[in-house]
Chains A and B, each alone.
Chain A
Amino acid sequence: KNQVEQSPQSLIILEGKNCTLQCNYTVSPFSNLRWYKQDTGRGPVSLTIMTFSENTKSNGRYTATLDADTKQSSLHITASQLSDSASYICVVSPQSGYNKLIFGAGTRLAVHP
């Protein structure tokens, strides 16, 4: 069964600190891996998209890494801000069924002052 597992389930950090969120997947073969940010009461918004041949992608203070051999990805947030409080969702797109995305359950991040 294709699965995307994320850890931790939730995380609390202080403003200004860095953090790293993890994603392990079993989807194979896959086309690309995405990280989405979902604010409370809003829809997910794309942060990064990486193909299987890429191993890092940055978007401002967000840096995603991908190791296709170990089927792991991480999202690193630098110098966290209060506005980073949200759910972060790892999403894998299989090669077959390009529009049938497989979602992780997300990591709920709370940034405290």
Chain B
Amino acid sequence: ETGVTQTPRHLVMGMTNKKSLKCEQHLGHNAMYWYKQSAKKPLELMFVYNFKEQTENNSVPSRFSPECPNSSHLFLHLHTLQPEDSALYLCASSQASSGRLNEQFFGPGTRLTVL
């Protein structure tokens, strides 16, 4: 285990549903990330939080809404998604510093299917 947990592991939702993904890290890190991984494509960075403040929004549609209540927890609220949003959503954490070997630790991901 990497010290980063995600729930649920699998989620199937309709386009009109509202759901949330949860991420929790037990590593004492202060930076957290959401990534989208589609089949045969590189991981796409969605959001970055440093010390609970959003520092990066990589042109993500507003139907994805992140929330970071503290340095250990990160949520991704989903509403009115499209079928093309079906993917593996990965959470990661790291130290929020400019250390050259600043490693990101990933959770197991949530496999999302939008019908």
A79 CB within 8 Å of chain B: no
B20: min CB distance to chain A, Å: 19
Please choose the segment from B61-69, B71-79, B107-115 that sits at the chain A interface, where 4 or more of its residues have CB less than 8 A away.
Answer: B107-115
- Indicate if A1 sits at the interface (CB-CB under 8 A): no
Interface residues of B in 1-51 (CB under 8 A from A): 2, 4, 31, 33, 40-43, 45, 48, 50
- The reply to whether A99 and B41 form a contact with Cβ atoms under 8 Å apart is no
Which interface class (under 10, 10 to 19, 20 to 34, 35 or more) fits B? 20 to 34
A41 at the interface (CB under 8 A from B): yes
Q: How far is the CA of A84 from the CA of B5 in the complex (A)?
A: 23
User: Which residues does chain B contribute within 8 Å of A101, judged by CB atoms?
Assistant: 43, 45, 104
Interface residues of B in 72-115 (CB under 8 A from A): 90, 92, 94, 96-109, 111
Distance of A39 from chain B, by nearest CB (Å):
9
Query: Is A105 among interface residues, defined by CB-CB distance under 8 A?
Result: yes
- For residue A98, which residue of chain B has the nearest CB? B98
Contact B100 A46 (CB under 8 A): no
Map CB proximity to B onto A44-60 as digits: 1 under 8 Å, 0 otherwise.
Answer: 11100101000000000
Residues of A within 8 Å of B94, CB to CB, are 99
Distance of A93 from chain B, by nearest CB (Å): 8
Which residue in A41, A99, A105, A106 is a CB contact (below 8 Å) of B104? A99
Interface class of chain B by DSSP:
loop
Q: Which A residues are in CB contact (< 8 Å) with B111? A: 41
Residue A31 at the B interface, CB < 8 A? Answer: yes
Is the pair B107, A43 in contact by a Cβ cutoff of 8 Å?
Answer: yes
Q: Which of A45, A49, A99 contacts B101 (CB 8 A)?
A: A49
Cβ A4 vs Cβ B2 within 8 A: no
- In Å, the complex CA distance between A51 and B99 comes to 11
- In the bound complex, residues from chain A placing their C-beta under 8 Å from that of B109 are 41-43
Question: Please, how many angstroms separate the alpha-carbon atoms of A44 and B90 in the complex?
Answer: 9
B31 surroundings in chain A (CB, below 8 A): 99
Complex A-B: 15 CB contacts under 8 Å: A32-B100, A41-B109, A43-B92, A43-B106, A44-B43, A44-B106, A98-B97, A98-B99, A98-B102, A99-B56, A99-B102, A99-B104, A101-B43, A105-B41, A105-B42
